[in-house]
Amino acid sequence: MAVSMRDLDSAFQGAGQKAGLEIWRIENFNAVPVPKSSYGKFFTGDSYVILKTTASKSGALRHDIHYWLGKDTSQDEAGAAAIKTVELDAALGGRAVQYREVQGHETEKFLSYFKPCIIPQEGGVASGFKHAEAEKHKTRLFVCRGKHVVHVKEVPFARASLNHDDIFVLDTELKIFQFNGSNSSIQERAKALEVVQYIKDTYHEGKCEVAAVEDGKLMADPETGEFWGFFGGFAPLPRKTASDDDKPTDSRPPKLLCVEKGQAEPVETDSLKRELLDTNKCYILDCGFEVFVWMGRNTSLDERKSASGVADELVSSTDQLKPQIIRVIEGFETVMFRSKFDSWPQTTNVTVSEDGRGKVAALLKRQGVNVKGLLKADPVREEPQPYIDCTGHLQVWRVNGQEKILLQVSDQSKFYSGDCYIFRYTCPGEDKEDCLIGTWIGKKSVEEERASANSLASKMVESMKFLASQARIYEGNEPIQFHSILQSFIVFKGGLSDGYKTYIAEKEIPDETYNENGVALFRIQGSGPDNMQAIQVEPVASSLNSSYCYILHNGPAVFTWSGSSTSAEDQELVERMLDLIKPNLQSKPQREGSECEQFWDLLGGKSEYPSQKILREAENDPHLFSCHFSKQYFQVTEVYNFSQDDLMTEDIFILDCHSEIFVWVGQQVDSKSRMQALTIGEKFLEHDFLLEKLSHVAPIYVVMEGSEPPFFTRFFKWDSAKSAMLGNSFQRKLTIVKSGGTPHVDKPKRRTPVSYGGRSSSVPDKSQRSSRSMSVSPDRVRVRGRSPAFNALAANFENPNARNLSTPPPVIRKLYPKSTPDSAILAPKSAAIAALSSSFEQPPSARESMIPRSLKVTSVMPKSNPENNDKEKSVSSRVESLTIQEDVKEDEVEDEEGLVIHPYERLKITSADPVSNIDVTKRETYLSSAEFKEKFGMSKDAFYKLPKWKQNKLKMAVQLF
């Protein structure tokens, strides 16, 4: 579409450059900006153009344009607003969706911009209207309809306007009454209270009383009597009469018309298909209550204006209920428009370029307008965050038939693809302990055990009175929260369950269950020590990928392979995973392009393999839906511009983030619907209401009101006091409105942590939990949730009985085997404090980071000296009740750094008198500093800064490896 400066209204220059609302009023057929202080204030005699700009997670800006027509606006002004909307779209590059909004029949999307409601005022700038002047308060009656956004309409102040089906707000000088029809829902009543609050703040400066009147309530209630007194006393209400608002929508089949030379001609077709739409033409799709205007990319601005005019005439000439007109551009069709067609391809061959927007930007730039927002923004790349406390307690069960088997701590992060697992993770929350119960479904698991896993997990949630959140996770689609809980996660081929063994026996399928003595290939992936995975893949060359590192073993023969696109961090993850998969064995490093023949022989020879990283489903902008589920149908309604207040305690909502979905269940939902929450999530994935290619195996979370985890509340401006309130939605809102704000809610006391399976579930305080750092020694013993300084000293030698890890502890090879508790010498607490303090003040050397002093952690707490009290207080939150003891026996020799040493002749692998009880994989650590420099030609600090493969090479040269 060609654009010239004369086609653009100067009022639109620079529009849509940042997220938010922009509003223009039509005055003398020109668009005049409305001051921000007047946003949401509309006059019945005017027409407006409203631009909503939304910034997506990718950084791109999305535009929705609405033109609002007051009930008393002139036909000419309405036409001008329609034309200005097309011009504004052209100025934005021709991508916006355009909506026609008629007073009293606005779309829910439009009303969501002006929550809780809009109440148009009498007046206008055209046809002799003047804006209403401030006058003495006038008693008015409004009818309110809607569960998610409220349509407010002023009706005559008379008893005849009332009925049993709707909610009415009576605004008097001293008090606002809300009359709840007996047939209205709790949700509608709650939403209407937001209108009451709006009227109170807008027209009474927040200073008036509020009263709720129930339909059918006895006159003995003083507020009820006061309400009916305004209508001359109580009398039975008339039956509700049908009005334009209540007419059923036209459900006839959609009719397609082609617009040429200002005329709309029907398109003869048996079924609607995308191929019917020509990119050089404009079309009208008449669906009764909704009328769509489709504009091809190659149509001119005049042709688009003409098509819009034809649609307006079509709507004006009909006797239907005021239809909505929605205009869409080729390539940017809405979900609703696409759903009207019998077939719509997933991808079209339309070339969408930046030319239109670029040309407009160039024209505006010449006039000195900042055009930054018109140009496509660079995608915002964010590292996903788990939003979960990783200092909690984990239990894992493997499902076997109808039973679950608790796994040992050392095995709880080792899963098999042919099995299903249940996990329970508890961690400290804001006010109480948070709990997540979930199922992990292996790709090769049998259907019976999948159903059993979900059933057992649901029963666990039910036994906790639905206070826990629930997750359903499929192999290969694990969310960041799952990986952060397990931290080091291994997926083996095959399975251990009876169901899997029976299935492969019946189908005569070879058993591929992992054998540590056989050939196995693992792809190593992850973002760091607290999020790393090893996935067993087919042991063939085509399973390799240049963007990953791999571990290949055949019994004791172990190879590590690093792709050409991997980083030092990726290679470090391989070293960590080796300690879990093949501890105590030395690997043979292989770089892509310089592999040995034995490596290729184990993989069956060379072959082509990919080089691109495996992409995971990205998190998209969230969409909130309310849903109603029964055996007959499943219905959802999108809630636009949502907030926490939209979550009604009587309903079930779905938050769709594309990569995962959340099913939120209110406290007032009946138990039967509550038990179906997971099924509702599965149905939502199956229907794919947004036509966004939702994966059927995307993670599903079931979240209970009052127990919302941080990885759910992050999508809202969350107030935990609101979800802790008692009563239904209406009662809660009424309390807030009457009190003038959110009521105070006493926070429940945090539950006392309990011990599970012999492992302590105690957790550090909040100052420690805020740090998600993880210390890793050469032995890969990992401690979470403590300060880095503390970890640097104590992580490698912490008492395993006091550990609180969610991952199996790797094999700990003692560097000082002779150091035992019996020979330990207790040091005063002040010495431990001093050791910690010195670690805060200066960073440790490379040697100290790799080989800490022999330290032990105990719960004994000797008395400290008085002069050290101040220093103790400053770090007491980090030390807690632990003390660190030096553990060196009197007959052992130490070097100048306090480490046990042995002579080189006894340490080398060919020694005639070898030293016993040492870590044979770290012989060099027992050399004195002088002897180390003599053999390696460098200091220990310099040595430990070298890559692991180079260290091993140097150690082999001096017979220490």
Q: Which two tokens stand for residue 795?
A: 């992580």
CB 588 within 8 A of CB 596: yes
What pLDDT, in 10s, does the model give residues 240-253?
665 555 544 555 68
Residue 370: what pLDDT? Answer: 52
**CA–CA distance from 283 to each of 78, 304, 776 (Å)?**
21, 10, 64
Q: Give the residues across from 28 on adjacent strands.
A: none
Is residue 530 very low, low, confident or very high in pLDDT (cuts 50, 70, 90)? confident
Q: Under DSSP, is residue 63 helix (H, G, I), strand (E, B) or coil?
A: strand
Residue 605: what pLDDT? Answer: 93
Is residue 942 very low, low, confident or very high in pLDDT (cuts 50, 70, 90)? confident
Higher-pLDDT residue of 357, 468: 468
Q: How far apart are CA 44 and CA 28, in angstroms?
A: 16
Task: Quickly list DSSP for 622-648.
Answer: -EEEEEEE-SS-EEEEEETT--GGG--
Q: How far apart are CA 933 and CA 942, in angstroms?
A: 10
Q: What stretch of H or E contains 260?
A: strand 255-260
Is residue 766 very low, low, confident or very high in pLDDT (cuts 50, 70, 90)? very low
Is residue 590 very low, low, confident or very high in pLDDT (cuts 50, 70, 90)? very high
**CA–CA distance from 218 to each of 221, 234, 250, 734, 869 (Å)?**
6, 10, 41, 20, 70
Query: What is the share, in percent, of the chain residues with pLDDT greater than 70?
Result: 75
Residue 101 has pLDDT above 90, yes or no: yes
Is residue 690 very low, low, confident or very high in pLDDT (cuts 50, 70, 90)? confident
Residue 856: what pLDDT? Answer: 35
Q: How far apart are CA 22 and CA 10, in angstroms?
A: 14
Residue 756 has pLDDT above 60, yes or no: no
Residue 922: what pLDDT? Answer: 84
Residue 876 has pLDDT above 80, yes or no: no
Most confident of 438-447, 621-630, 951-960: 438-447
Is residue 946 very low, low, confident or very high in pLDDT (cuts 50, 70, 90)? confident
Is residue 893 very low, low, confident or very high in pLDDT (cuts 50, 70, 90)? low
Q: Which two tokens stand for residue 189?
A: 């009543």
What pLDDT, in 10s, does the model give residues 692-709?
888 999 999 999 999 999
Residue 891 has pLDDT above 60, yes or no: no
Is residue 352 very low, low, confident or very high in pLDDT (cuts 50, 70, 90)? very low
Q: Which of 894, 892, 821 is nearest to 860 (CA)?
A: 821
| Nearest-5° Cα angle at 267, 263 to 270 | 165
Is residue 723 very low, low, confident or very high in pLDDT (cuts 50, 70, 90)? confident
CB 888 within 8 A of CB 900: yes
Q: What is the largest CA-CA distance in the chain?
A: 113
Which position has the token pair 């960590």?
576
Higher-pLDDT residue of 281, 820: 281
Task: Quickly list DSSP for 531-592.
Answer: EEEEEEE-SSGGG--TTSEEEEEETTEEEEEE-TT--HHHHHHHHHHHHHHSTT---EEEET
Q: How many residues does the chain have?
A: 961
- 657 by Cβ neighbours in 10 Å (0-12 / 13-18 / 19+) ranks as buried
Q: Please, what is the end-to-end C-alpha distance for the chain in angstroms?
A: 72
Pairing of strands 61-69, 97-102: parallel
- Residue 534 has phi, psi (to 5 degrees) of -125, 115
Buried b (16+ CB within 10 A) or exposed e, 453-479: bbebbbebbeeeebebbbbbbbbebbb
What's the distance, CA 546 to chain centroid?
30
Mean pLDDT of 509-522: 94
Q: Which of 325, 180, 186, 161 is nearest to 243 (CA)?
A: 161
What pLDDT, in 10s, does the model give residues 638-664?
999 999 999 999 999 999 999 999 999
Give CA torsion, residues 732, 738, 742, 743, to 10 deg: -80
- Residue 690 has phi, psi (to 5 degrees) of -90, 5
Is residue 835 very low, low, confident or very high in pLDDT (cuts 50, 70, 90)? very low
Residue 393 has pLDDT above 70, yes or no: yes
Residue 508 has pLDDT above 50, yes or no: yes
Residue 474 has pLDDT above 70, yes or no: yes
Q: Which of 533, 525, 581 is nearest to 558 (CA)?
A: 581
Kindly report the number of other CB atoms within 10 A of residue 909's CB atom.
13
Residue 619: what pLDDT? Answer: 87
Is residue 735 very low, low, confident or very high in pLDDT (cuts 50, 70, 90)? confident
**CA–CA distance from 250 to each of 318, 525, 533, 907, 925 (Å)?**
12, 54, 55, 90, 83
**CA–CA distance from 798 to each of 352, 370, 768, 793 (Å)?**
60, 59, 17, 10
CA dihedral sign of residues 867, 873, 878, 881:
positive
Mean pLDDT is lowest, of 38-47, 415-424, 443-452, 817-826, for: 817-826
CB 562 within 8 A of CB 591: yes
CB 656 within 8 A of CB 691: no
Residue 58 has pLDDT above 90, yes or no: no
Q: How far apart are CA 106 and CA 928, in angstroms?
A: 82
Mean pLDDT of 761-790: 36
Residue 562: what pLDDT? Answer: 95
Residue 169: what pLDDT? Answer: 97
Residue 801: what pLDDT? Answer: 42
**CA–CA distance from 437 to each of 183, 426, 451, 752 (Å)?**
39, 9, 15, 19
Q: What stretch of H or E contains 873?
A: helix 869-879
Mean pLDDT of 505-528: 93
Q: How far apart are CA 863 and CA 357, in angstroms?
A: 73
Residue 760 has pLDDT above 70, yes or no: no
Residue 611: what pLDDT? Answer: 92
Q: Which two tokens stand for residue 448?
A: 């019976």
Is residue 459 very low, low, confident or very high in pLDDT (cuts 50, 70, 90)? very high
Residue 362: what pLDDT? Answer: 52
Q: Which two tokens stand for residue 34?
A: 């409305």
Q: How far apart are CA 270 and CA 333, in angstroms?
A: 22
Q: What single DSSP character describes residue 866?
A: G
Mean pLDDT of 758-766: 36
What pLDDT, in 10s, does the model give residues 132-178?
455 678 899 999 999 999 999 999 999 999 999 999 999 999 999 99
Is residue 781 very low, low, confident or very high in pLDDT (cuts 50, 70, 90)? very low
CB 950 within 8 A of CB 591: no
- Residue 67 has phi, psi (to 5 degrees) of -115, 125
Q: Which of 690, 715, 691, 687 is nearest to 701 (CA)?
A: 715
What residue type is 713 in one-letter code? T
**CA–CA distance from 490 to each of 487, 530, 581, 585 (Å)?**
10, 13, 9, 18
CB 295 within 8 A of CB 86: no
Residue 319: what pLDDT? Answer: 59
Average pLDDT, whole number, for the chain?
Answer: 80
Residue 750 has pLDDT above 50, yes or no: no
Question: pTM of the prediction?
Answer: 0.74
Query: What is the share, in percent, of the chain residues with pLDDT greater than 90?
Result: 50
Taking phi over 0 as left and psi of -120 to 50 as alpha, with beta for the rest, 691 belongs to left
CB 308 within 8 A of CB 282: no
Residue 857: what pLDDT? Answer: 37
Residue 747: what pLDDT? Answer: 46
Higher-pLDDT residue of 395, 849: 395
Q: How far apart are CA 56 and CA 561, in angstroms?
A: 39
Q: What single DSSP character describes residue 161?
A: G
Q: Which of 222, 221, 127, 238 is nearest to 181 (CA)?
A: 238
Mean pLDDT of 542-571: 94
Residue 872 has pLDDT above 90, yes or no: no
Residue 944: what pLDDT? Answer: 86
Mean pLDDT is lowest, of 393-402, 469-478, 633-642, for: 633-642
